[in-house]
Structure 1
Amino acid sequence: MNALPACCTPLLDHWPLPRPLAGVRLISTRFDPALLTADDFTLTGIPRPRGVDKRQAEFLAGRLCAHAALHQLTGTGTVPAVGEDRAPQWPGGISGSITHSHGWAAAVVARHADWRGLGLDMERLLGAERANRLAGEILTPAELRRLAQQSAERQARLVTLTFSLKESLFKALYPLVHKRFYFEHAELLECSDDGSARLRLLIDLSPEWHSGRELEGQFSLFDGSLLSLVAVPSNQGE
């Protein structure tokens, strides 16, 4: 796929998170739905989804990143189809994740031999008022108690971070357990200024992924947004 639509900036092969992971490739782009044209899907060979221009531009940008990341990893670029559960369908032996938010999209991929699961999520930082409204829906009682000890500014950032990391956790584990779970089914145990985080499951998803299992995550802040990643190593739980 050589063509790049005008609605997307040149694809960027980079690592905007604090800890590089061996064998993982991340590709991103910025996109503008106002520049999307009907021909962009024909040009790129990506099936056009239903929805408004914003939704279509998000889909196109995310799939372009996924195609490029797969090509970097395997030498063969494919476009992940949409499964019946609406999740991307990655090639056999490949883990991957796609995210998009406010004109930025990215995809991350790795071989199963290195990483069994990957979850990537980008969120715009919440304002204090909205974070306060959403905290009860996103945080567990234990997380709410820890939140109350923080300043108002740090509370908004912590609610955003918890939301994003739980989204990344879901994306990383869903392909392994094929079972949906929600914000109340995991908790953020700790996060550090260096961008590291630790989460714990509060639900039994499978004999392997049971309540009490802990996973590591990482995150970074840039351009008013928060990017998080949860990666399941190939030797974890096996």
Structure 2
Amino acid sequence: MISLDFLKKVEVLKSLNDEQLTAVQGCCEEKVFQSGARLFSEGEEATHLCVMMEGQVDLRFDLHGQSTSDANNISSLTESATFGWSAFVPPNKYKLSAYCATRNCKVLRMERDCLLRLFEQDTEIGYRIMTNVNVVIAKRFQQLRNTASDSPAAKVEITVHMATCGIAAGAREVMGALMEEVAQSGRKDIRVKTSGCLGKCATEPNVTVNIGWEEPVIYQYMNSDKMRQVFRKHILSGQVQSDFVLAEK
């Protein structure tokens, strides 16, 4: 059984007392993965909230039809880090794939349905855990903003606006398509970053493209297909996709 001492270090379980942690123990299991093993896949139903116990797990975008590689890494997680929070965010599908990046990875898995039943029995546990999950999500997006595909010699900067409104409108899927296109292009002068809301919530997801000294172009109502078209036509060929450009009002 997972020890209470370890559970006390888990960021999503902070502020729970020993009695509450003991209740959470019943939803936990420990699982060991070998190097290169995939813990879960992008698009798969998110059934577990996970916490690193030992080793390192890499979160990656899988490029369709290609083998995964370190080049597709979004972040690397080590001891006590929480991931898999899509289990509590509709539509409850993992947005990235998770791979064991060390010789062995020991992971604590908390079953979603078991936790939900526990939340119904003790609403205070549910409130505290979900509050902590929101803190974890905020930290992850701040880390992504600071590190995503950063290139000091970048001539092209693409910003996906990923505030809450953008995420709800599909900005994660837009980011996924963009990261695939950047990886496939082999370009080293493209920087991908995230930012907050433009104040145009009704036109989300929004994407801003900056190329050299040209005026920035803001695209509206983006989805994965539109993002791929913008990347191939505008970024690679210099053709602004006027049909998608944010209308000035």
TM-score (normalizing by structure 2): 0.28
Judging by fraction of residues, say which structure has more helix: 2
Q: TM-score, normalised by structure 1?
A: 0.29
Greater gyration radius? 2
Higher strand share: 1
